[in-house]
């Protein structure tokens, strides 16, 4: 097989990105400097949120979100099973209990009816995941949250640039979390961010990012003061200026990358019409940011093996979180708790999709899928 390997996702780094990073390396501030605030402001401008707190990775952003919202022992937070483990782990970090609410079969987004059924007197909030890049049913989630006095966090690590009723993801929940890992829409190497419209939450998040201390080193230097106080148990979840300069440069390319992801997804969708390979559905009021292109196939394991044999980097997102051994052993979760996610897990496969890919790669992947379906299984 001489065809080159197509990964399921990868970053694009150009000379502008390299120049931006190099400029920071020649400057005075490698961390907690001006590039951090500039990147935060740029993401605010892009999403429409009023406050942004950049941190070392998306998992750290989820962790400080739970802390800022006051999660502790005895508290329950409702999460979907069809996500990366970090969505639920952040609740455990704080001593709380993640409670799994099943997803909808056609989109794999959290099912509002399942959320409502999972509410107990200990429920404090909901973390909803904009799975694959499609915003959840935020209207329904808001209604539930309001009725029961719950917070809403958007794990939008898949959905930077997505839109819901014409509104960018970033202002649909109390706190929205992004990741800048290289497979995500834009990268800082490792990196993450919380955005919020609440000044109180923003201040808490900022403190928790840096040891729970009231000022940072640059503020102390500019005011000439040595005094600071630690008022909360915070962490060192800071991100460097080197990373933020890369993020700023990457962000300028995001709109064209979202468009390219949508074009590639539409090419896939059109090719899979009337096929045994069934794409997930996007609601008409949503712009999908297509972090992942996920399809369902009955003979998933065969398809996966044949795609890998054809040098195509198919993947599976995700093993439902409640089926991981850690969760089974420590929280008593088990198969049967989330039947829709469990059934989907048997059938889903992520096909390559990233903005550097061309339409001939889509054709090669579609043909490989069709060949896999046509060949008799041995
Ligand atoms: C990537 C991701 C995270 C974690 O982000 P990191 O930056 O890798 O820590 C959390 N939730 C979801 C849904 C993700 O895809």
**pLDDT by residue (tens digit) across 310-342?**
999 999 999 999 999 999 999 999 999 999 999
Establish whether residue 59 lines the binding site of ligand 1, counting it when its CB lies within 6 angstroms of any ligand atom. Answer: yes
Q: Which of 97, 124, 168, 184 is catalytic?
A: 184
Second-level CATH architecture of 254-374: Alpha-Beta Complex (3.90)
Query: How many beta carbons lie within 10 A of that of residue 309, not counting itself?
Result: 11
**pLDDT by residue (tens digit) across 252-269?**
999 999 999 999 999 999
Residue 258, pLDDT score:
98
Average pLDDT score over the chain: 95
Residue 377, pLDDT score:
55
Is 225 a residue whose pLDDT tops 90? no
Span from the CA of 312 to the centroid of ligand 1 (angstroms): 23
Per-position DSSP letters for 209-236, written without gaps between them: HBTTBSS-HHHHHHHT-----B-S---B
Ligand 1 atom, smallest distance to 131 CA: 13
Residue 334, pLDDT score:
98
Pocket test for ligand 1, best of 179, 189, 193, 290 (most atoms within 8 A of CB): 179
Range name among 174-178, 191-195, 368-372, 374-378 with the lowest pLDDT average: 374-378
Is 271 a residue whose pLDDT tops 70? yes
CATH 3.40.640.10 location in the chain: 15-251
Report the distance separating Cα 238 and Cα 33, nearest Å: 11
**pLDDT by residue (tens digit) across 31-58?**
999 999 999 999 999 999 999 999 999 9
- Give me the residue label for tokens 């990741």: 179
Domain covering 15-251, topology: 3.40.640
Residue 378, pLDDT score:
47
Pocket test for ligand 1, best of 8, 57, 181, 291 (most atoms within 8 A of CB): 181
Per-position DSSP letters for 282-302, written without gaps between them: --TTEE---S-EEEE-TTHHH
Q: What is the mean pLDDT of residues 136-159?
A: 98
Contact 238, 244 (CB under 8 A): no
Residue 217, pLDDT score:
66
Is 106 a residue whose pLDDT tops 70? yes
Residue 110, pLDDT score:
98
* Residue 184 annotated among the catalytic residues of the structure: yes
Span from the CA of 181 to the centroid of ligand 1 (angstroms): 8
CATH 3.90.1150.10 location in the chain: 254-374
Report the distance separating Cα 315 and Cα 307, nearest Å: 10
Q: What is the mean pLDDT of residues 1-18?
A: 89
- CA angle in degrees (0–180, nearest 5) for 363-278-354: 45
- Give me the residue label for tokens 């394991």: 301
């Amino acid at each position: 097989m001489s065809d080159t390997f197509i990964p399921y996702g990868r970053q694009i780094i150009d000379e502008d990105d390299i120049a931006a990073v190099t400029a920071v390396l020649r400057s005075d501030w490698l961390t907690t400097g001006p590039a951090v605030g500039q990147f935060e402001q740029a993401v605010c401008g892009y999403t429409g949120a009023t406050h942004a707190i950049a941190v070392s990775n998306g998992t750290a952003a989820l962790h400080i979100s739970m802390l800022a919202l006051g999660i502790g022992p005895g508290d329950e937070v409702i999460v979907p099973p069809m996500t990366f483990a970090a969505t639920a782990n952040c609740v455990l970090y704080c001593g709380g209990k993640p409670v799994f609410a099943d997803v909808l079969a056609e989109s794999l987004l959290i099912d509002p009816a399942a959320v409502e059924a999972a509410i107990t007197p200990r429920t404090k909030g909901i973390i909803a995941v904009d799975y694959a890049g499609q915003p959840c049913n935020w209207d329904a989630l808001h209604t539930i949250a309001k009725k029961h006095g719950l917070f809403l966090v958007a794990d939008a690590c898949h959905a930077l640039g997505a839109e819901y009723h014409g509104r960018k993801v970033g202002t649909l929940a109390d706190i929205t979390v992004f990741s800048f890992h290289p497979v995500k829409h834009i990268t800082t190497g490792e990196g993450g961010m919380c955005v919020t419209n609440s000044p109180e939450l923003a201040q808490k998040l900022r403190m928790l990012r840096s040891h729970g201390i009231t000022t940072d080193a640059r503020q102390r230097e500019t005011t000439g003061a040595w005094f600071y106080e630690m008022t909360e148990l915070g962490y060192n979840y800071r991100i460097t200026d080197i990373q933020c300069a890369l993020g700023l440069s990457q962000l300028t390319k995001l709109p064209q990358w979202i468009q390219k992801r949508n074009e590639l997804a539409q090419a896939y969708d059109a090719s899979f019409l009337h096929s045994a390979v069934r794409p997930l559905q996007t609601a008409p009021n949503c712009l999908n940011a297509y972090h992942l292109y996920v399809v369902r196939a009955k003979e998933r394991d065969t398809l996966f093996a044949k795609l890998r044999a054809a040098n195509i980097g198919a993947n599976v997102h995700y093993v439902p979180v409640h089926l991981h051994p850690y969760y089974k052993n420590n929280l008593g979760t088990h198969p049967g708790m989330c039947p829709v996610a469990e059934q989907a897990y048997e059938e889903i496969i992520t096909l390559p999709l990233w903005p550097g890919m061309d339409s001939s790669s889509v054709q090669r992947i579609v043909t490989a899928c069709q060949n896999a379906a046509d060949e008799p299984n041995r």
